Amino acid sequence: MNAREFEQTYGFEVFPKRDVTVVRGEGATLWDEYGKSYIDCTAGVGVANIGHANPQVAAAIATQSRKLITCPGVFYNDTRARLLEKLASVAPPGLQRAFLCNSGSESVEAAIKFARHTTGRSNFVCAMRGFHGRTLGALSATHKYRAEFEPLLDGFSFVPFNNGDKLVDAVSNDTAAVILELVQGEGGVRVADEEYVTAARQLCDRRGALLIVDEVQTGFCRTGRMFACEHFELQPDILCLAKGIAGGIPMGAVLCGEAVAAAVGMHGSTFGGNPLACAAALAAIDYMLENDLAAQAAHKGEHLANRLQQLRSDKVREVRHLGLMIGIELKGKAQPYLTDLMERGVLALLAGSTVIRLLPPLVISLEQLDAVADALVDVLGR
């Protein structure tokens, strides 16, 4: 049996699969089992910001793996300590404390618990089209994919994204937190309006609710800044992180200030903050800083978006982007174009049924981006 048949026989078919077996990566290039190369505009769904098989991260993992891989939270650890200091140094102001976990969903789970415990309230206001993960708490804050798993947690309500009036109506003195993405990723690459974000911050302050910002997808240079919060000069109470944090090794983090950190209550994780993931994250963040990946994402995002704005196609409704988080909203279904792009050597993502989403590694070259634009013109311009 080949890899495909093994997976079909022994795995879980929870995702619609693409007809390719990916065996190797380097930078923004992936190779299949036959040696065919692809320009990767998926980056493991926004994970490989620093590129596949990044040598600095690979070296850090190798070194740490020979020293210490696991170390429970009941002990201090030198590598974890250095990562916590590093996170505090890159975090938006006021978010100096971090709880380390293993995924985006887990970071949202923790944020929900922390917000309940800190405020003594149990209600959450979330955005339509928002996505926060598939575990039951994170799914309760997620607008889609929920129906077949109900009943979920009580107390979660949904308001239209970017509508300040509806938010005012929904947030009360019983609201523990408002949960927001600054660019909705799975929901179609929709960028928050500045006034909306400012209004949400002020409203939370007025009502004594916390503002949880989910930067699992937008964090770590993806949008042209270390965190998307910086575009909005926003100081959330709780910041959820994962995906790009450790160069592909599973890790999540919840950042918060002293007040929340002091009141979070009992929480924990066996793997959270393990030295192997911490070493990978330290190397990944150093790579981002040394290579100014945020500036690279801003510049390259502008380059690709400019090329796509010139795309004359009656199939395209709108191109949206912030940094290298790019959405091409079509007038019809996007799925068939992903297959066409793959045939032309470009791997891309969906966001909803009508949006082609591009999340390339931020180390992608301008030549590769031009090749992506050419493939899109070819596929959508026909």
Catalytic residues: 131, 214, 243
Residue 133 binding ligand PMP, by CB under 6 A: yes
Nearer to ligand PMP, 324 or 373 (CB): 324
Nearer to ligand PMP, 68 or 350 (CB): 350
361: nearest Cα among 317, 307, 296: 296
- Residue 129 falls in which region: left (phi positive, over 0), alpha (psi -120 to 50) or beta: left
Residue from 100, 125, 179, 216 that binds ligand PMP (CB under 6 A)? 216
In angstroms, the CA 29 to CA 282 distance is: 23
The span of 179-187, 276-284, 301-309, 355-363 binding ligand PMP (CB under 6 A) equals 179-187
Amino acid at 232: F
Is 87 within 8 Å of 255 (Cβ atoms)?
yes
Distances from the Cα of 101 to the Cα of 112, 288, 311, 351, 355, angstroms = 14, 21, 42, 26, 30
The span of 79-87, 214-222, 275-283, 368-376 binding ligand PMP (CB under 6 A) equals 214-222
Is 183 within 8 Å of 325 (Cβ atoms)?
yes
Residue 223 binding ligand PMP, by CB under 6 A: no
Helix (H) or strand (E) holding 57: helix 55-67
**Window 29-68: residues binding ligand PMP (CB under 6 A):** 45
Please identify which residue in the block is written with the tokens 């994970």.
Answer: 47
Backbone phi, psi, residue 114, to 5°: -60, -40
Nearer to ligand PMP, 15 or 75 (CB): 15
Helix (H) or strand (E) holding 40: strand 37-40
By beta-carbon distance, which residue lies closest to ligand PMP? 104
**Window 242-261: residues binding ligand PMP (CB under 6 A):** 242
Residue from 116, 121, 132, 201 that binds ligand PMP (CB under 6 A)? 132
Backbone phi, psi, residue 51, to 5°: 95, 155
Minimum CB separation of residue 100 from ligand PMP in Å reads 14
Minimum CB separation of residue 158 from ligand PMP in Å reads 15
**# of chain residues touching ligand PMP (CB under 6 A):** 15
Provide the angle, in degrees to the nearest 10, between the axes of the packed helices 55-67 and 275-290.
150
Minimum CB separation of residue 145 from ligand PMP in Å reads 11
Is 340 within 8 Å of 271 (Cβ atoms)?
no
**Window 95-124: residues binding ligand PMP (CB under 6 A):** 103-105, 108
In angstroms, the CA 54 to CA 133 distance is: 27
Nearer to ligand PMP, 77 or 218 (CB): 218
Residue from 186, 274, 287, 334 that binds ligand PMP (CB under 6 A)? 186
Nearer to ligand PMP, 45 or 71 (CB): 45
Nearer to ligand PMP, 186 or 329 (CB): 186
Please identify which residue in the block is written with the tokens 């709108």.
Answer: 318
The span of 126-134, 146-154, 324-332, 366-374 binding ligand PMP (CB under 6 A) equals 126-134
In angstroms, the CA 220 to CA 227 distance is: 6
Residue from 114, 131, 161, 196 that binds ligand PMP (CB under 6 A)? 131
- Residue 131 falls in which region: left (phi positive, over 0), alpha (psi -120 to 50) or beta: beta
Beta-bridge mates of residue 357: 327, 349
Residue from 214, 231, 293, 296 that binds ligand PMP (CB under 6 A)? 214
For residues 39-53, one letter each, b for 16 or more C-beta atoms within 10 angstroms of the residue's C-beta and e for the rest, the string is: bbbbbbebbbbbbbe
Residue from 119, 217, 223, 274 that binds ligand PMP (CB under 6 A)? 217
131: nearest Cα among 121, 141, 123: 141
Residue 272 binding ligand PMP, by CB under 6 A: no
The span of 36-44, 109-117, 213-221, 283-291 binding ligand PMP (CB under 6 A) equals 213-221
Minimum CB separation of residue 185 from ligand PMP in Å reads 4
| Binding residues vs ligand PMP (CB under 6 A) | 45, 103-105, 108, 131-133, 181, 185-186, 214, 216-217, 242
